[in-house]
Structure 1
């Protein structure tokens, strides 16, 4: 028999033999490792060979799959790219179709039959629709800060938010109006709205404003059409777009109702030509504050009229200011390239301006620039004139005929203008300057040349008579010429 035991801590197989009837027995002890060693080695070899076979087979399979997969992957990528381009083209074609529909270059009936408008679930040409023109405010900031692809993503995100919110109650389609700051919402099945319709529109658009502000940090404003039959969509779009121009006068989130705007702005308008002339006159006289006030008043008054009137007035103001620049150039009071900066403030596309305040601010900058350049030019010109007046006075003050009239005639100016100009820059009148020069000359002659009589000094300094000289001298110095001479015998001056 046999049994397993531990001898000195080592697992051992004990086998024994007891012969029958004999008194002796046979016992053998075999350590377990000697028994299982060959078996363990065989198992290890088998496992090693198995793992090696699997690894080599897997490597060969992987390399083979790479070789097979490469052309398949290229085919898959090409298919995926084609699919994306196809989706993009379909989307672009669909957007262009909607734009053409709004612009009136597509027949609503033909588009309806084509199935393109299935998302709106229109039942016929007479079904009522609603247009909402959405404007992204401060789009110029997006234009300067992002490339065209990023701006497209912003518009796409705004369109998705608007469509998702509106689609809870009605069928909605959002049209990107050609890459600018405007989107158009087309809404149908408006009869499904539970709330009063205008209340629902206000609530819906406010939610869009909040969501877009939170998610994209963008600000929106809206112009809403009246309900109209689908077949009149192009006419409704034109009317709503006309009213949308008045978003210039609105704040972020404001909602304009096209019908109310156009009814309010249907009055006849007469352009205030007289006030424009007053503005130009104020600019030419360097009265910047008055020019700004007139310009601002003329533009802001157009809020009560149609957008075509606003556009007309802004264009007239721009042309008037540019006319001032051209006239000043012609008279050499302004010269390029200085005046090029002035012309850069002209409004190019009113619909793209952020607000009427931005338009007014641009014109205020333009007026300020014109007045500043004109003042600089005038100051330089006036300085030359004042210098000429001063030179003439210095040369002729000893002539009794020297006076404001003679000096003005010498420089080719009217006496009133010459006197005003000279006082502006010297803070003294021409007569005061002539009198001071004559008095200084008289004092010098009284002290330096005692042989000259008072009458001779009076004649040499331009006074008309001896008595008049004495009278003026006493008034200026508190003493007669003789008293002054005697008091200053040492040659001093009083």
Structure 2
């Protein structure tokens, strides 16, 4: 019996050791799996982030090069419109040439540091004027590539950038080499020498542009651009200019790829690299980012060491904790075992004791490890915050791990699943007025109210989620397991119209909406959001309250941009003749033509029209021995903030009419007569609730836009404000002198809605109409 007790004690110790070992093994296993998963996730995420970073970098490079090209072309347009440059291009062969002629081009100020030089070629004289050297005959010009360049040029702009290596000659007759990109603007060719009668050549410095490529290139990572034949145009290493790399395998892959952008892994000189590429349609270039694989994993060594230290530290802590936990857990077991030992001795129940012990341990372990921690235990505010952040991350593609996304969506009761999803993006129209009209808290409440309306209306047909994104956007995600129902645009558009109507009814806020593409899975929801965001730009064309989708925008888009010179000539003729109606008609035509292009080309067309309009008005002022003070900088800098073509038209109308008004003194008397007749008509008809600017403009026989412009110029207030103030003044007189009710007075002064009159009166004077009447009686 004594030996049995000893064996039993040994067995008890063995159980205790097994318990400790089980905890240590379990802790080690959890730490090992967690560390491995974290390490691999970190490595994969690092590669994904690198690819994403490369894609963003390439997008920045494309935007930068497109920006340089657009502004270079605009600058070239300005040069062509410059009278001094124009005279250099076309003065006759026998005209007397002064050495000061070349100073006109030498004194040019370049708006971009990337512009290296400008040539002006005159076929009549056969001379080339350069912004960096003296005037010489084209056959003796230091840039030997100029002659074939203009020989191959066509009328108007060259189709793209022409890369060249040129040995330049400075003013001090010193030679230096430069890599340049040339843009040519020329006219029709002379049949005698097959050269244009005149041409302007703008040379862009590749070195200056490549500074940007060097800036955005990460350490040991290359970013460069090639043309369709594999010649390098831009590179972070300037010595690579015009080198042909089409023989490289990864370049062959990119050149043969039908997709405009993508990424893949490839070996370069035996070293694995991550290759990302994107295409610039305007430049006809493919931009490539090459990141050596080992540079991506460079930080993994530090991560590896850090994880090893953490693993050992946590394992050591786990051993200590395991000992105390095991001891604490085993303490009651020991007491039970002691009680059981007496029973074992008396009743020989070894089997039962062993069974009960392991059942107890199993229950203890289950009690420790079966605790379920869920997001459902969070507070309502925390759950709401997490819901919004998770939905926003899906839209903006900010999720770093999609593995547990379905579980999170279910736990947070987010009605978005792996089925087909569609993003509808709403934009608050006239956002500047929205911000000036409401406080921060009011704006927050209004966006919350709009989200509720979107949720209530859309839930009739779909599972949906809605959140406010940024200062002016509301994002609605529709979800359905039936893909076909989401492609039923009539149903979707009817829901959008219902939402727009409710928001206008309850909040008097106009919403524009854009429908993204269908997303087959959760990963593509961000793509649908990006498409919808891009479509919203086209409210510039379709106006406030529009519903935009692929069929409405892309199918009717004119891909070839061509500035409407003929319509511009007709417009400028109307401006010169001060023919307001024809001016508006031709302005509508030219804006309609510009609106047929892509959003970026719309902005380019509007910029060109603004530049040409300034030149026209400057000319009109010069004829009258006056100088204009038109400043286009603010307009051009805020061009992308214009919401509709109505705003664009209004700006040009104001520009033309104000210029015409200032220049033509005779029209001043006519304008005063118009204002006098307008005010008289308003005084006689202010009580008509249908009184509007259009009705008044028909009465005085001018357009409504012109009437608004001259009225505001003369009276220093808008026509609508004048009518409103007159009605309120009449209402005050009736409140002071009659016993009519507020409703009767509102009708008497031309308000069709007494509630609106009551609210507007209180907002204007700070008290209600009844309070005003009582206050007046007290004073009386």
Larger Rg: 1
TM normalised by structure 2 equals 0.32
Higher RCO (Cα < 8 Å, 6 or more apart): 1
TM normalised by structure 1 equals 0.48
- Bigger share in helix: 1
